[in-house]
Chain A
Amino acid sequence: MAALVGAAACGPESSDRWDQPLQLVGPLETSAGLAYIEKTTARVYVLDADRKADTALLNISSAKIGNDPGVSAVSADGKTIYVVDRDREVLQLVDATDPSSIEEVELSGDFDRITVDPYGEYVVLSFTGASEENIVARNLNEIGVVSLKGTLGATFTTLSTRANSFSFVEPFSLSGQAQRLMVVLANNEVTVFDLLADNAEDRLREVPLTVSEADTIRVPTQVIFDTSNEGKLDLYLRTQDTDISRVTVRLAPDGATRKLLLSTDKLTVNSPAGMEIVTLSNGSTRLLAISAGTNTFTLVDTVSDVSVTLTLPMSRPAQYLLPFTTTVEEDGELKEEVRVIAYSRDSPLVAIIRPELIPIEGDEPTVGRSVYAIRLEGLPERIELSTAVPDQAIVFHPSSGFSLLNLEKNNDIPIQGGALKDVLFDGTFAYVVYRTLPNLTIFGSDGHPTNFELPLAGTSVHFDSESEVLIVPHVDRLGSFTVLDANDPRPETATVYENVFVNNFLGREN
């Protein structure tokens, strides 16, 4: 009979959207906690760690955002979450503290890449060119620059070449004039974008990387800025395994308002796989580059352009550079010295380079080993410097276990155990979660591990310094988290949160 009544009254059926799996983006680290964008239900979630007495807790807030959330990012200060609503073509600025507080900036398209100015003044939107369904027409060379200073608004510019990536130069001055520059890296071209220019003519300065469009495509992959020289900006540009160019930016000498002049020269570094700028104790700067084809590195004096190439004590060419600062005693005084770790995923030998001790033509010869090696127990997958313990780095191995590198004693402490998934340094301790093991390990400065239980293996570990609570997300379709007292991470003081992204499920809108 109920079926009869049911057949008699026909209402609209629910949308298929209820049946789609959740599509999560995150975690995004914000100043208010971990944030997630859930695209299927078009909601933003902010998980704020808290504690009540001895028990670690999670405050969960969420809000509806635009119907079709696309790409997202977090502001440099962590206070704002940027989300492109592809439905209405707007950039939404979500307050991480109060996700229901949303500002909007109208866009000229459904941009699919956000680049955030690390100095907090601009957000740049662009197209990656990745193929997607339901595209009617897009100008892939168009970018939008949102100014966060004063009145919120966006300006739109079409570049000569589609951007691969954007880099912001820190605020500096040229001949006393304040500058905010952005560098656009594109195939065969680099564009210096003057963000403070008040007219279109002076806004863009393009630097071609090839003589002819018919030449082999050159892809710039890394850019480093040197703003230490008054009156000019040096921009070091590495093209993938090809060469390093230097673009020098100066103000036009005619006193014109903001016109920039660019000049380019090439450094004598062949097939660089990576580069770093290091400043020596005497104030001079050197560019250090590793070769993609040989186990060598080159050190270039950025003033004289004189270089020296030395062999790395590694069996394979280095792939990555990791500069760090250590303290050394010299003539009874402590002073800081920049050193660089060079490593390859294919070599168990890690090289430590001391640029201070490498004389380039005309330098005084120095005493001491300028390059030396540390042998690891296994191949390194990646290396992270510890922010908790000076002169310490943690080495992730691809299969199992990990190593603590003591960069002062130049040895490695192998830690037998599970393969690392994530490590967090909180200033005092290192917190580690594993790929498959349901455990959390805390390492003290002496490298001693203390193991704790988790209900499930963690995917990452996050620290809330205000409440001194650790948040460990787990692999789970509906959102599963464990929050633990960072000082006493036992199950008795922890709380497990499950189905977090099902919260407010009855209130979701189709």
Chain B
Amino acid sequence: MKKCILIFGAALSLFSTEALAQELDFQLRLGSQIATDESFDALQDSNLLPYTTLQFGYAATEGSLQGLRLFLSYDSTTNAPNERLSGSLELDWTRYRFMVGGEYGIMLWNMFRPLAGVGVGYALGDMTVTADDVRSDFTHDVAAEAFAGLDFTIRIATFDSGHVLRFKAGTRIGYQLQTEARFDELESDASGWNRGTNDLGVLDTDGMFWNLGAGLSLAF
């Protein structure tokens, strides 16, 4: 019985939070965006676009800013290209986003953190069209997102300095907005003649997203 109590106590201590003032974290997130615009049908058969996010966060864990976490993130979304027009055409699209934002959450039982947040940033679109030649174009847009989520935290180690290393995992669900990306100047890589550009049209990337992530945080 005493052994069981010790194990339970040790387990509880993993989730405990000491009164440290600040926390830095790093997270890797994998997710999918749900494409709602028909223009995405040109890119791939599925309506789901996989994406990867790297995120750096800073949180003040005391005072009036307690519960607020600020983040910087970089993500890349890409399509799984399918041949179009009976194999005549293939479109490869990748979007890179650089976002800043904040999220607010409340720690429950020193373990769970329901949260809500917003972000805003810059989106770079890269389209490559492979037909008889290869053509590419870039777009530059403003992006924003709003989300809700839940984080789960456990303590890994406490250092002699008093700093605490924690493992974090969590999920986000939200909606992302972006100004319309118009790929209207696809330029050929061929040489020798003056070549006209192609206007492929507009890609509307607005839609729901969902991701799962994991990372480490250091409280000090």
**Which residues of A are in contact with B by a Cβ distance under 8 Å?**
1-6, 8-9, 11-15, 18-22, 40, 55, 57-58, 455, 476-478, 480, 482, 491-492, 494-500, 502-510
A498 to B135, CA, bound (A): 10
> Do the beta carbons of A20 and B30 come within 8 Å of each other?
no
Contact A504 B132, beta carbon cutoff 8 Å: no
Interchain nearest-CB distance for A469 vs B (Å): 13
A2-B209 Cα distance, complex, nearest whole Å: 11
Whether the Cβ atoms of A491 and B46 lie closer than 8 Å is: no
In contact, A502 and B45 (Cβ under 8 angstroms): no
Asked if A18 meets B84 with Cβ closer than 8 Å, knowing A9-B34, A506-B183, A510-B38, the reply is yes
Residue from B35, B88, B202, B208 in contact with A477 in the complex, judged by beta carbons closer than 8 Å: B88
10 closest residue pairs by CB, A with B: A14-B41, A11-B47, A506-B201, A21-B86, A507-B201, A2-B50, A497-B196, A506-B39, A5-B32, A1-B30
B contact residues around A8 at 8 Å (CB): 210
Select from chain B the residue with minimum beta-carbon distance to A9: B34
A194 to B89, CA, bound (A): 51
Roughly how many angstroms separate A13 CA and B39 CA in the complex, as a whole number? 12
B187 to chain A, nearest CB (A): 11
**Of A55, A477, A496, the contact of B85 (CB 8 Å cutoff):** A477
CB 8 Å contact bits of B87-101 with A (1 = contact, 0 = none) = 011010000000000
Cα–Cα, bound, A140→B201 (Å): 42
Max count, chain A CB within 10 A of own CB: residue among B183, B200, B210: B200
B203 near A506 (CB under 8 angstroms)?
yes
List, in ascending order, chain A residues with CB within 8 A of B200's CB.
502-506
Q: A5-B210, A510-B41 are in contact. Are A478 and B48 (CB under 8 A)?
A: no
> B191-203 interface mask toward A, CB cutoff 8 Å, 1 = contact, 0 = none?
0111110111111
Question: Which chain A residue shows the least CB distance to B36?
Answer: A11
B31 and A496: CB pair below 8 A?
no
Assess the B135–A1 pair: CB atoms within 8 A: no
**B211 interfacial contact with A, CB 8 Å:** yes
Query: Which range holds the interface residue count of chain B?
Result: 35 or more
Contact present for B31 and A480 (CB under 8 Å)? no
Contact A507 B202 (CB under 8 A): yes
Shortest distance from the beta carbon of B101 to any chain A beta carbon, whole Å: 21
B133 at the interface (CB under 8 A from A): yes
Given A497-B196, A503-B200, A505-B201, the answer on whether A480 and B30 have CB atoms closer than 8 Å is no
| Chain B neighbourhood of A58, CB < 8 A | 196
Decide if A504 touches B196 in the complex (CB within 8 Å): no
Contact A496 B132 (CB under 8 A): no
In B164-213, which residues have CB < 8 Å from any A CB? 183, 186, 188, 192-196, 198-203, 208, 210-212
User: Inside 8 A of A508's CB, which chain B residues have their CB?
Assistant: 42, 201
Residues of A within 8 A of B131 (CB): 478, 498-499, 502
Tell me whether B154 is interfacial, beta carbon within 8 Å.
no
In the complex, residue of chain A having the shortest beta-carbon distance to the beta carbon of B30: A1
Residue from A19, A455, A494, A498 having most chain B Cβ neighbours under 10 A: A498
Which residues of chain A are near B84, meaning CB under 8 Å? 18-19, 505
- Over the window 48-68 of chain B, the binary record of Cβ atoms lying under 8 Å from chain A Cβ atoms (1 yes, 0 no) is 101100000000000000000
CB-based nearest B residue for A501: B85
The reply to whether B212 and A455 form a contact with Cβ atoms under 8 Å apart is: no
User: A1 CA to B86 CA in the complex, in Å?
Assistant: 31
Q: Which residues of B contact A40 (CB under 8 A)?
A: 85
B47 close to A498 (CB less than 8 A): no
**Which residues from A are CB-within-8-Å of B151?**
none
Quick one: which of B45, B132, B199 contacts A13, CB cutoff 8 A? B45
The answer to whether the Cβ of B129 comes within 8 Å of any Cβ in the partner chain is: yes
A478 and B89 form a contact (CB under 8 A): yes
Q: Is B83 an interface residue (CB 8 A)?
A: yes
Q: How far is the CA of A476 from the CA of B131 in the complex (A)?
A: 10
Closest to B41 in A: A14
Query: For residue A507, which residues in chain B have a CB less than 8 angstroms away from its CB?
Result: 39, 201-202
Give the residues in chain B near A21, CB-CB below 8 Å.
85-86, 88
